[in-house]
Amino acid sequence: MTYYIRKFYRVLRFLYYKVAQVYSWLISSIKFYLNGVQYHRDFIGFGIPILDVNMQGSFTIGKRFRFNSGKYHAMGGRQQQCYFVVAAGAKLSIGENVGVTSVAFICHNKISIGNNVKIGINTVIYDTDFHSLDARYRNNYPELLDGVKSRPVVIKDGAFIGGHSTILKGVTIGKNSIVGAGSVVFQDIPDEQVWIGNPAQFVKENQYATVLT
Ligand SMILES: CC(C)(COP(=O)(O)OP(=O)(O)OC[C@H]1O[C@@H](n2cnc3c(N)ncnc32)[C@H](O)[C@@H]1OP(=O)(O)O)[C@@H](O)C(=O)NCCC(=O)NCCS
């Protein structure tokens, strides 16, 4: 008897995820539309992302985008929804066949993510410092944003960014390169390398790079 109850529970759970996938697709499509996102209808989403795309900003998503967002859908064990924020004049672009889980991409300048990129749970990409480094501006009330530093971020094709990483302004991550979980990246990573830590440092060449696209 216990076996069948447990089995039934798993069937219900399976059905829940199937329904959730359809619901997520529908609501996310509406949110993409309302935010002026250029996207392909073949995306697969679990959960609903949070979107704030300025009318003067641009957000494009390539084919076969996959995201996990929020409670019950982020299987790395963290519950945040994905955050995609694009400010006026900024440009966020995601290439083809990209997968992300519970990420935050905060784009005040330019964030460009290539094809076949995987970005692990809880990772944030900031192309801005958000606040001035000058305490007089930062602590003014209301806060003055003059001179806040902001530089483009580029994640090249095939990169894999481990969960809980922070990618800061001006960084380029090379083709097929890997960032270890929990890293803080503030400088460029060349192609086909593994970098890990805070601050992220070179650990080794990516021995699998040659077989990747
Ligand atoms: C970066 C990574 C892929 C390296 O894996 P690997 O090639 O098997 O490398 P190793 O385990 O041999 O580790 C290489 C070295 O880096 C260190 N290291 C590995 N990952 C580390 C991390 N996240 N932080 C700090 N050091 C790390 C190891 O201790 C080892 O150091 P040593 O050579 O001095 O012994 C893996 O450690 C990792 O971070 N995977 C990401 C998992 C993840 O977040 N997935 C997404 C979830 S949604």
Q: Give me the residue spans of the domains in the chain.
A: 2-205
Q: Which token pair is 127?
A: 């192309």
Sheet holding 172-173, edge to edge: 58-61, 91-94, 110-113, 153-155, 172-173
Place of tokens 């995820």: 17
For 189, the token pair is 């990573």
User: Exposed e or buried b for every residue in 49-64, given b needs 16+ CB within 10 A?
Assistant: bebebbeebbbebbeb
Predicted local confidence at residue 82, as pLDDT: 97
Span from the CA of 128 to the centroid of ligand 1 (angstroms):
27
- What lies within 8 Å, CB to CB, of 208 at 6+ separation is 176
Q: Is 182 in the pocket of ligand 1 (CB under 6 A)?
A: yes
| Residue 210: predicted pLDDT | 62
pLDDT tens readout for residues 149-183: 999 999 999 999 999 999 999 999 999 999 999 99
Q: Ligand 1 in contact with 178 (CB < 6 A)?
A: yes
Q: What is the pLDDT of residues 112-124, one digit of tens each?
A: 999 999 999 999 9
Residue 152, preceding bond cis, omega within 30 degrees? no
Nearest CA owner, ligand 1 atom 11:
180
Q: What is the CATH number assigned to the segment(s) 2-205?
A: 2.160.10.10
Residue 166 pairs in a beta bridge with: 124, 184
pLDDT value of residue 1: 87
Annotated catalytic residue 40: no
Spacing, Cα 161 to ligand 1 middle (Å):
11
Marked catalytic residue, from 40, 73, 131, 164: 131
